[in-house]
Amino acid sequence: MQAEKYGQRGDTWFACSALTHREQGGITVKLGIYCDSGINGGHEEMLKRLMLALVDSANIETVHVLVPIANEPLHRFVGELVRDHPKARFVSLPYTAESLRDNFFELHRMIRSMAATLRTLGLDKLLISQGTIASGLAGLFAARYAKVTSVSYLPLVDDGPKSRSGSDKIKWIIKRLLYRMPDEYVTLNGHLRDKLGALAPHARTITLENYVDDRFRQSTLTRSAARAALGLPDDGTYIVAHIGRLNLHQKRQDFLMRAIERHDKAFTNTLVLIIGEGEDAARLRGIVDSSSALSAHVRLLGPQKDVLPFIVASDTLVLPSAYEGVPLVMIEAVLAHRPIVVSRVSGLDSYLPDALLFPADDQDAFVKRIFAARDVPIDALCQDFQQRFSREAFNAQAQSMVRT
C-alpha cells in the first residue's frame, strides 16, 4: 500500500493516504490514536475531545484507539466511544508509559509487539499522545518500525539542557534526536509551532487550539451561591485557587507556598485552595503541615469531579508553572469571568494581559498580581476566548486536518 509523498510544508493534514482509498470516491484514512499514559489529566482530556471530533469526519474510514487498561477513566471513555460510533475501534494496552520507565528490555519488547499490531491494523497514520517528547516512546518507535506515518500530539517543547552538567547535556542530545522522529506534529499555538520548527525542521507542524465546555461561560452560579454550596466563607475572605496536577517541578505549588510564607501579612483574611492530585501530594501536604502560616491559609482539597464551582467561588486563580502548553484551567477561569495570574512562560503572554502575568521567579510580583487581579477587566478577554476556544471552532479545525 504505497502512500503519496508530501509537497511543501502546510496545514493540510492527512494529505498522504493509501491509493486504495481513492477508489471510494475520495481520500479516507485509517487512523490510529495511541496514548500509553497512566494519568487521566488535562492532556488526556484534550485527546478525548479530539477523538470525538475525528470520529465525525467524513475523511476518516476508521479510528483505532490504543489506550492502557490501567488508565481506567480513559479506557472507559474509549469503550463508550466505540459503543456509540461505528468508525471507532478499541485496542487495550497491557502497559503504561510509567510501567516501562527505566525498563529498557520491556520497552523494547512492547515496541516490537506494538509494531506488529500496527501492521495488522493497516493504519495510514498513528497519532501519538506525547505530554513530552520523551513520553509515548513505545508508540513512536513502533510506528517507525511498522513504517506508519507518526503524528506527535501536543508535546511540550524543551528550551535546552537544564544545566551545564554532563548528564543534562546528554539528555538534551537524546531529546533532540527524538524531536526528529515524528513525521508530523500537532501543537497548540504559534509559539510552540515555531519552537518545534527549529527542532524538527523537516516535520509538518500544524496548530490546533483546544476548546472548553460551554457550561463555563453559560453558568448562572454566583460567587455567594458557590461558596455556600462548597462550605467556603462568604464574609469578605479573599479566595485564591490553584487547580492542577500536584507536580512541584512543573506546576510549582511549592513556589506558591513560599510566596505565602514570605508575604504572610498580605494573606491575612485570605484562603488558598489547592485542588488536584498527583505524585507530589504527600510532599505538598508535608510542606503545609510543617508551617503555621501555611496551615492558617491553605486548604488541600484533593481532586474534584467538577472544578466549576471552585472557579466561581474564587476571587482569582493562580498558575505559577515552570512551563505549560495551553492550560485548560486558564481558559475555564476566563470563560467563567474569573482572573487567573500565571507565570510568563511558554508563550502564555499571547493569551493574557500584562496585569495577569508575572516573571516566573519573582515572588513579590506574583503576590502583587494576586491581590490586584480582581480589579483587572476581563470582559473583552472573555468574549475573545468564547470565540477562540469554542467547540465549534475546535471541531472545524480538527476536521479540516483530514479534509483534502
pLDDT at position 95 is: 97
| SS3 per-residue string spanning 349-398 | HHCCCHHHEECCCCHHHHHHHHHHHHHCCCHHHHHHHHHHCCHHHHHHHH
Q: Which of 7, 6, 9, 14 is nearest to 404 (CA)?
A: 14
Three cell numbers written together for 106:
520491556
Provide the residue-wise pLDDT of the chain in tens; the chain has 404 residues. Answer: 333 333 333 343 443 333 334 434 456 899 999 999 999 988 999 999 999 999 988 889 999 999 999 999 999 999 999 999 999 999 999 999 999 998 999 999 999 999 999 999 999 999 999 999 999 999 999 999 999 999 999 998 988 887 888 999 999 999 999 999 999 999 998 889 999 999 999 999 999 998 888 899 999 999 999 999 999 999 999 999 999 999 999 999 999 999 999 999 999 999 999 999 999 999 999 999 999 999 999 999 999 999 999 999 999 999 999 999 899 999 999 999 999 999 999 889 999 999 999 999 999 999 999 999 999 999 999 999 998 999 888 998 888 776 54
Provide CB contacts within 8 A for 158, sequence distance 6+. Answer: 132, 133, 172, 175
Q: Which of 341, 337, 279, 344 is nearest to 308 (CA)?
A: 337
Which numeric CATH code is attached to 215-388?
A: 3.40.50.2000
Distance of CA 149 to the CA centre of its chain: 23
pLDDT at position 163 is: 83
Domains 19-211+390-400 and 215-388 equal at CATH topology level: yes
Global pTM reads 0.83
Query: Domain locations in the chain?
Result: 19-211+390-400, 215-388
Q: Which of 26, 29, 33 is nearest to 48 (CA)?
A: 33
Question: In which element (H, E) is residue 289 found?
Answer: helix 281-289
Q: Which CATH superfamily is domain 19-211+390-400 in?
A: Glycogen Phosphorylase B; (3.40.50.2000)
pLDDT at position 27 is: 64
